[in-house]
Structure 1
């Protein structure tokens, strides 16, 4: 029988921001976390002077150069023919960024109020002393050379090592995205996918562990660890996270930020109650849920016929790829005392409705639009989708997690 549990990885891995969101989005998510965290990461910072200078192509007005040093304020830097210089007394070390604005920003001026529109951004770690930035063109992408900051060099080294892992993950994700419906119903394919993804996750764990062990007091590793926690949210292994956290210096662990992070690990990694999944031979749990027109639909009303409870969602790629074949089975057996009841784990009604229309799903559909908090899904112990239960006319479960071929064979046998 197909191990649908493997599909749970899709939900987790495709949400792993450290692998799949853009670099800018990742930088922004860390730069603009609340002020409390900004103070935490710089818990031992001291006021000092940082000097920044360099040349970025032939950058000139109306293009702008902005800099942020973790102090909740962006400063505009004068730039002419690409040349700029800037100095500031602030708490160091600090995490921030430098940004080229191709469309200038002017507060309150119509057409120029989108601060993060049409820009190029690079994250930076600042420390006391001089740092230079040089780029051959009017961009910070790829070609910018940063010198003079040891902590920035550590950051660049960390990004290089992490990119190697993220490249592996993207390659795996691309292969999965191109998978055929047959592959998505193959246990061998899904097990191989799970094993590859686990290997990537283990590589990231090992990389971060080694980084913290080598730099237990560094702001770079503190930021890297916080990013790791954010991207693992919902699937964080609290035991692993705590083991990595314990590698930081006692000073950091006992600071206010350290104590808050320890509490966050416990909160994010808190085990959730797992409801037992009903087995073949048991009565299917009764339920009531609303359809697209907000009418209550109950399992009881399907008594007297075979019904396939199909747990799916508009965002679930394997579900959508299998839907055309399920439509074929439904069309073949719908007049032989068989139907399907779709139970969606969507949280957006418009997307749910569009998926039903696009995939031509003409059977009953219900959802409470609570995503993974769907009440029916929880009562059936659903931890992954797609997943299904075949219920007989008496309400007893006679099949579970059936592939399309298995469903077809079962219905053929029942119809004879």
Structure 2
């Protein structure tokens, strides 16, 4: 990064383009942020939010603590990450219009049925904006686990770009599985981790 010390770029360019390049590792992204942006940009509210997103991206790719969240499911039940420390929590991001997400649902339903009576909780965060399409999909695919509508704020805070996405959080709140970084598209690794960590 020494060669970048004298380079400065506009915040909008960094936020809208560079920060969204998935091929750039989060820790490298943070180093770029500290190197190529002036203090003028860094003192803005937008920059403060961007830093939190980058830190969250670092956390979910380095077996660190998953960012805290407090949400209501579609039945009005409160779900707080801080109160789930005694469980393995599988967090899914999806949408009713996403075909790969829908193709993944049978596997998730199978996992939920297998482990729901153990120290395990599956939570699906939809990034849908259309509540009717969202609820129709839940009913059609019998998604009988915790469902969160408009989960985009959490998705965005993680620097999310593509769905479906899955994270497995252990009882200490740490991310021990990230589908994207694991390239575990058939969920083989996820199944292995759950079978090893949860008592049959």
- Say yes or no: TM over 0.5: yes
1:311 aligns with 2:103: no
- 1:276-300 per-position Cα deviation (integer Å, ceiling 9, x unaligned): 3222420000012232134442222
Give the 4+ runs in structure 1 shifted more than 6 A.
none
Counterpart CA distance in 2 for 1:335 and 1:280 is 29
Normalised by the size of structure 1, how large is the TM-score?
A: 0.33
Counterpart CA distance in 2 for 1:333 and 1:290 is 22
Match of 2:137 in 1: 355
Change beyond 3 A, Cα 1:336–1:366: same
8 A Cα contact 1:297 1:366, kept in partner? no
1:404 aligns with 2:187: yes
Match of 1:384 in 2: 162
Match of 2:63 in 1: 281
Match of 2:146 in 1: 364
Question: Which structure: greater strand fraction?
Answer: 1
- 1:220-267 per-position Cα deviation (integer Å, ceiling 9, x unaligned): xxxxxxxxxxxxxxxxxxxxxxxxxxxxxxxxxxxxxxxxxxxxxx99
Normalised by the size of structure 2, how large is the TM-score?
A: 0.66
Aligned-pair CA distance for 1:333: 1.4
Match of 2:197 in 1: 414
Counterpart CA distance in 2 for 1:356 and 1:404 is 21
Counterpart CA distance in 2 for 1:348 and 1:286 is 26
Counterpart CA distance in 1 for 2:117 and 2:144 is 14
Counterpart CA distance in 2 for 1:346 and 1:414 is 32
Number of residue-to-residue matches in the alignment: 146
1:322 aligns with 2:104: yes
Alpha carbon RMSD of aligned pairs, Å? 2.3
8 A Cα contact 2:90 2:166, kept in partner? yes
1:61-140 alignment, distance < 5 Å: none
Unaligned runs of 5+ in 1: 1-265
1:332 aligns with 2:144: no
Counterpart CA distance in 1 for 2:68 and 2:125 is 13
Change beyond 3 A, Cα 1:336–1:296: closer
8 A Cα contact 2:94 2:126, kept in partner? yes
- 1:345-394 per-position Cα deviation (integer Å, ceiling 9, x unaligned): 1001111111111111111111336xxxx110011221100011100011
8 A Cα contact 1:291 1:365, kept in partner? yes
Change beyond 3 A, Cα 1:272–1:280: closer
Identify the structure with bigger relative contact order (alpha carbons < 8 Å, sequence gap 6+).
2
Counterpart CA distance in 1 for 2:143 and 2:89 is 15
Match of 2:34 in 1: none
Tell me the SS of whatever aligns to 2:137.
Answer: helix
Tell me the SS of whatever aligns to 2:92.
Answer: strand
Aligned-pair CA distance for 1:273: 5.1
1:299 aligns with 2:81: yes
Counterpart CA distance in 2 for 1:378 and 1:332 is 30
Counterpart CA distance in 2 for 1:350 and 1:299 is 27
1:136-147 alignment, distance < 5 Å: none
Counterpart CA distance in 1 for 2:82 and 2:136 is 27
8 A Cα contact 2:125 2:150, kept in partner? no
Aligned-pair CA distance for 1:334: 1.4
Change beyond 3 A, Cα 1:296–1:368: farther
